[in-house]
Structure 1
Amino acid sequence: MNKRFLTLSLASLLTASCYAQVKPIAPNKDAIRFSKAINPADGFKHLSILASDAYEGRETGTKGAWMAADYIRDYFKSIGLKGPVDGSYFQKIDLVNVTLKESHVTVNGQPKQYQKDYIVTPSLINDKGFMFSTDEIAFVGYAIKKDNYNDFANTDIKGKVVMMFSAGDPTLKPGARIDRASYRAMLAERAKYFADNNVKAVILIDPMVDRITENTKQAQNKGRVLVKTASALEAQNGAPRISVSTEVANELLKGANTTVADLQKKITESQAPASQILNVSFSASATKNETSVRCENVLGYLEGSDPVLKKEVLVLTGHYDHIGLVNDPNATDKVNNGADDDGSGTTGVLLMAKAFMDAKKAGKGPKRSILFMTVVGEEKGLWGSEWYSEHPVFPIENTIADLNTDMIGRIGEEYLGKPDSANYIYSVGSRMLSSELSNLSESVNATYTKMKLDYKYDDPKDPEQIYYRSDHYNFAKLGIPIIFFYDGMLQQDYHRPGDEVSKINFKLMSKRAQLTYYTAWELANQAKRPAVDMDGKGNPKK
């Protein structure tokens, strides 16, 4: 699961429930018969390979991820799934490694040193690079506009180079944390304000430049992988950004007879902006290099049996990437195996694919089509699913739902030692867009798996904001109903080498995959697709 918080905004609290509260559906003998393919033994076979040390943590754009992609492709092919991308099982993703080709910064005509005085992020440079110079910089403090505080008041930034602190909010009390929803809204508002005023460039006063290490320098020089999604290209086409050290910032502020420390103290104590125009000469330029890197989602397609309904597609997802090797030469265990995150969910997709293909071969295949898709780059920022959302293989309007399994193999902290520790799953997001899908899931659970469905992470006050942190979200934002099944394991070995196959509860993992499978069976065979009757935030549509 991805660490980042992509967005915030939920409107209703959905409380936990269990199977006893809902009406079961009639059990389907065929569904039960073919569910036997989803079992602990086969789960172990897949996961012991995918999460082995040989796969080196499956980091996107590395040998381990390619090995995993090949394994999944070969398995999809072996059970009879079709390659839906012009006959291929791979959906190629435009991934590049971006390095800095050259850069120059001067202050009052004096050149500055890269990685000592300033840093430029190559992935934020567009294909043409940038070059600018100015004799006038607009210092705008923290670049915050809210309530009775406005760093932009009485300061014209139109067409100018802007200088600001890289982080912070002087209006917050000591120890207080800004609400993430408000923070993201503020960032979006700031970006729009800069764009509307045609800001030439942004200089960030960043303490990280002051304490950059040799390891960080080496990592920067190796480059950064980047998927060319719409959002990434939009970021590249914004105003150029340069992070400068405190020393360089003080040099820029010298003509105004002030310093970084003085300004921070003044703004915090007065609770008033100190924005001003600085008359100082500053110039900068930079270009980048890009090298293509192998990267792909792996897709297996099962065509539906109904001549009409087969045009509709149900998507089952899990991300096969993880975070790779430990960046510590002294570590005794150097592999972040990612057995639970998300080897378990990927394995679940493979087991479900086998169950549905067994049904197909026995003449009991689903009426609707099913796309089994293991995506890449989730840990980098939901890259694979975002790419699919922008380059769908099947029309978005024909996609009826996404069932996403991301971490289904362990017992989360809240359930350790509890009576229902081996019989629960967090169900996330099921009611954000479709009450019918949520009701179906509960009815399916009441009939087949009888697990506790915990809706904790649908709480709008969830500090982890789990709903926005896995691949289902790139379907939900397009208005496609989703359910995200998740075990809640966020502390024990999350993104650490300890996330090993030996710690997976394969019986529980299989049961959770069976819940997903039975839900998929109903979705793929019922007369109507689940209606979108909610607004995406858990409120009924008006």
Structure 2
Amino acid sequence: MRQKPLAFLGYGVRIPGGYDDFAGVDVKDRVAVIARTLPDLDAFAHLPRGERSLLARLKRLEAAKAAAVLVLEDGPVRPLLREEGPVKLDIPVLSVSAEALGTACGDLRARLMAIKDTGRPASQDFIYAPWTTLTLKLKLRREEAQVPNVVAVIPGRDPKLRKEFIVLGAHMDHLGLGERHSMGGAEGRGQVHPGADDNASGTALVVELARELKKARPRRSILLMHFGGEEEGLLGSNHWVQHPTHPLESVKFMLNFDMVGRLDPAAPKLMMGGLGAPKAALEAARKLAPEGFAISVDVGAAVGGSDHMSFSQAKIPTFFFFTGIHGEYHRPTDTADRINFAGLAKLAAYGRTLALDLANADTLPAFDPETAKVAMKGDGGPMRIAFGTLPDYADNPKGFRINGVSKGSTAETIGLQAGDIITGFGGRPVKSIYDFMDALGAHKPGDKALIQWLRGDQTMQAEATLKGRS
């Protein structure tokens, strides 16, 4: 239990040469109080989008050595979650209301109104007021759980080719009660998120393919997989690739179905990605589509971050199928009555055609490293830097773990290897893939950046000259 003085820092914004909530306030070893929601101020007009997020402002306070942060809500208190993933900080952060703080920081609403009226900071350090201390008592508990993968096999009929496998996969998890990653806002959290499209649709489609392909008796064997933990970072597929039930070199192709239940009946259009698949293979797959079935082909990773990425990182070519984002995505309203079942059946028939085409072919397309390049994006848009890491999407308490590096990349040049955990990039701490993406987005081609990482118990670092994307 510790007592710490309070300091009000407006919105926790610092713009070099401009608006600065930190001016005149030493936040070190104080409990900082900031408002969550940024107002529409001219002073904030040039604040980069990546610096507007609550997480970016919390990181700034952590870097300034704040003891803790109280996030002042403009409504009910709510979980401090970033929709893209878990917040990873080394200081306590609590959501509070103005009523809960009482008069410890004076009239907070008046201070915030003054900022809105004048466009100038109204920060205040309360170090000399002994009654404005906060007593914190925190008890942290890390909970771990096991989630299953479900794997089934349809043996091939060809004496030689039956030793090779085509994987048909879909993730079977969703968001539960929406406590993490819900797009439904405060009202959505605590409600059941059915996940009819994401991804009961893909799960059901793989079951239907299992029924059909068993009757068809293909030459190659079929591995049918339902993955757990996709929403938490491709955990199930990544685990299977690292601990396969069949030799990984025997897996020749992977088809992944994620959110395939919302085909537009008026204009049926399927989005299809080919991570690690040659462009010719994608074009051949498009020609197998039934009449009146439009397919939007997207080479590489531009379509979807899903379980096919784990296989592509293992140098297995993949196809990914997706009928598009909609207003019910990651919300309690993603329900079965919104599924286009006729469209799902049509997609299953197309999936059967593709699976049999691959399973019965004399030879299969080889992995193409050019289409396997992941087009990562940061808060500011598409990345300008090509660094060459293959990400491990699972949460890691030490930093951003990588599954490998691309040949000839900057990451390979400085000596990074599979299993390394990146902890720093260009002076920024890296605690997650989101930190890593933000750090990449802050640089331009030609910049030099110090990269720090862990390899087992060893701490390593190297300076890298960053390259642009070709």
Task: Choose the corresponding residue for 1:238, options 87, 90, 94.
Answer: 90
Give 1:282 shift.
0.9
Give 1:285 shift.
0.7
Give 1:187 shift.
5.2
Structure 1 residue 272 corresponds to structure 2 residue 120: yes
Per-residue CA shift, 1:68-97, capped at 9, x if unaligned?
xxxxxxxxxxxxxxxxxxxxxxxxxxxxxx
Matches within 5 A, 1:506-521: 506-514=344-352, 517=355, 521=359
8 Å contact kept, 2:10–2:34: yes
Structure 1 residue 260 corresponds to structure 2 residue 98: no
* Alpha-carbon separation, structure 2, partners of 1:500 and 1:384: 28
Matches within 5 A, 1:135-146: 135=5, 137-146=6-15
Per-residue CA shift, 1:422-442, capped at 9, x if unaligned?
x43122x54xx55x5454222
Amino acid corresponding to residue 499 of structure 1 in structure 2: A
Q: In structure 1, what is the equivalent of residue 69 of structure 2?
A: 202
Q: In structure 2, what is the equivalent of residue 349 of structure 1?
A: 206
Amino acid corresponding to residue 441 of structure 1 in structure 2: L
Scaled by the length of structure 1, the TM-score of the pair is 0.51
Give 1:134 shift.
0.8
Report the identity percentage: 22
Per-residue CA shift, 1:458-496, capped at 9, x if unaligned?
999xxxxx735x555666789986543222372489743
Give 1:207 shift.
3.3
Q: In structure 1, what is the equivalent of residue 296 of structure 2?
A: 454
Aligned-residue RMSD, C-alpha = 5.0
Give 1:141 shift.
1.8
Give 1:167 shift.
2.6
8 Å contact kept, 1:336–1:497: yes
Scaled by the length of structure 2, the TM-score of the pair is 0.57
Q: Provide closer, same or farther for how the CA distance between residues 390 and 296 of structure 1 changes in structure 2, counting only shifts above 3 A.
A: closer
8 Å contact kept, 1:357–1:365: no
Structure 1 residue 445 corresponds to structure 2 residue 312: no
Paired residues in the alignment total 353
Q: Provide closer, same or farther for how the CA distance between residues 457 and 134 of structure 1 changes in structure 2, counting only shifts above 3 A.
A: farther
Q: In structure 2, what is the equivalent of residue 76 of structure 1?
A: none
Task: Choose the corresponding residue for 2:33, options 163, 166, 185.
Answer: 163
8 Å contact kept, 1:375–1:384: no
Amino acid corresponding to residue 70 of structure 2 in structure 1: I
Per-residue CA shift, 1:343-390, capped at 9, x if unaligned?
22112223344566667x66x115xxx653323355xxx126235436
Amino acid corresponding to residue 383 of structure 1 in structure 2: E
Q: In structure 1, what is the equivalent of residue 366 of structure 2?
A: 528
8 Å contact kept, 1:449–1:515: no
Give 1:325 shift.
8.4
* Alpha-carbon separation, structure 2, partners of 1:389 and 1:443: 28
Return 5+ residue gaps in structure 2 as ranges. 179-190, 377-383, 387-468
* Alpha-carbon separation, structure 1, partners of 2:360 and 2:51: 38
Amino acid corresponding to residue 531 of structure 1 in structure 2: P
Structure 1 residue 488 corresponds to structure 2 residue 333: no
Q: In structure 1, what is the equivalent of residue 404 of structure 2?
A: none
In terms of fraction of residues, the more helix-rich structure is 1
8 Å contact kept, 1:318–1:404: yes
Amino acid corresponding to residue 232 of structure 2 in structure 1: W
Return 5+ residue gaps in structure 1 as ranges. 1-130, 213-219, 327-333, 461-465
8 Å contact kept, 2:4–2:29: no
Give 1:271 shift.
2.5
Task: Choose the corresponding residue for 2:173, options 321, 324, 345.
Answer: 321
Per-residue CA shift, 1:87-144, capped at 9, x if unaligned?
xxxxxxxxxxxxxxxxxxxxxxxxxxxxxxxxxxxxxxxxxxxx43213x33222123
8 Å contact kept, 1:481–1:532: no
Q: In structure 2, what is the equivalent of residue 36 of structure 1?
A: none
Amino acid corresponding to residue 118 of structure 2 in structure 1: S
Amino acid corresponding to residue 487 of structure 1 in structure 2: T
8 Å contact kept, 1:161–1:200: yes
Q: In structure 2, what is the equivalent of residue 151 of structure 1?
A: 21
Give 1:246 shift.
0.6
Task: Choose the corresponding residue for 2:235, options 362, 386, 393.
Answer: 386
* Alpha-carbon separation, structure 1, partners of 2:346 and 2:51: 37
* Alpha-carbon separation, structure 1, partners of 2:248 and 2:24: 48
* Alpha-carbon separation, structure 2, partners of 1:390 and 1:442: 31
Q: Provide closer, same or farther for how the CA distance between residues 535 and 322 of structure 1 changes in structure 2, counting only shifts above 3 A.
A: closer
Q: Which protein, 1 or 2, shows the higher relative CO under an 8 Å CA cutoff with sep ≥ 6?
A: 1
Task: Choose the corresponding residue for 1:281, options 108, 119, 133.
Answer: 133
Give 1:157 shift.
2.8
